[in-house]
Amino acid sequence: MDERVKKYESKMIKSLDNLDNEYKAIRAGRANPHILDRIRVDYYGAPTPLQQLANVSVPEARVIMIKPYDKTMLKEIIKAIEIGDIGINPNSDGETVRLVFPELTEDRRKQLCKDIKKKGEECKVAIRNIRRDGNEEFKKLTKEDVSEDIISGLQDDLQKLTDSFIKKIDAAEADKEKEIMTV
């Protein structure tokens, strides 16, 4: 594959990785520690990822247990989780924080599927925008005395790359929907 096309492939990979991270944050009725990846705790004035301040474990299928390394940070961790708006109220026993995930209702599952489709479509748009940028760059190569055949080949390679990433997005979308709809 041409280096000029590989540059756009790396951008597409980043878009797909971003989508995967978005999907990890969507909870499917089961405890998933990735839902806490975006939570930042005010640790002596510095926003610090929760995983650096506490041991995060999943003792049961629908429970996340957070045990802070420093017990004085318990209130700050609870506050950060509440501000993080993950849709679950933290419970504390003075030493640990428990997040109990309720069973998802049918309506909530359908709403989550809509969100999954929306995020998937946003990623597809990002991939298509990357393709457009690449095609525009390739068209400018005619000024540099690059033959039409080479430019056409580059555009074809970029289109094949775009199609493969769209298929990957569709597959990720279908997998996440299946996970959400499984009771």
> Could you report the per-residue pLDDT of 13-57, keeping only the tens digit for each?
999 999 998 888 776 667 778 888 888 988 888 888 988 889 999
CATH code assigned at 119: 1.10.132.20
> The domain containing residue 155 runs over which residues?
3-24+105-181
Q: What's the rounded mean pLDDT across residues 99-110?
A: 84
On whether both 61 and 94 belong to a single domain, the answer is yes
The burial of 120, by beta-carbon neighbours within 10 Å (0-12 exposed, 13-18 middle, 19 or more buried), is given as buried
CB atoms within 10 A of CB 71: 11
Tell me the C-alpha distance between 105 and 109, whole Å.
6
Where residue 172 falls among pLDDT bands split at 50, 70, 90? very high
User: What is the count of structural domains for the chain?
Assistant: 2
Where residue 169 falls among pLDDT bands split at 50, 70, 90? very high
On whether both 82 and 118 belong to a single domain, the answer is no
Share of the chain above pLDDT 70, in %: 98
pLDDT the model gives residue 183: 63
On whether both 84 and 174 belong to a single domain, the answer is no
pLDDT the model gives residue 25: 75
pLDDT digits (tens, 9 = 90+) for 69-99: 988 888 888 888 888 877 788 888 888 999 8
Rounded to the nearest 10 degrees, what angle do helices 106-140 and 148-181 cross at? 170
Contact 5, 158 (CB under 8 A): yes
On whether both 49 and 111 belong to a single domain, the answer is no
Average pLDDT, rounded, for the chain: 88
pLDDT the model gives residue 38: 83
Q: Which residues contact 7 (CB under 8 A, 6 or more apart)?
A: 134
Is the per-residue pLDDT at 141 higher than 90?
no
pLDDT the model gives residue 29: 65
Query: Taking Cα atoms as reference points, which of 115, 113, 111, 91 lies closest to residue 101?
Result: 91
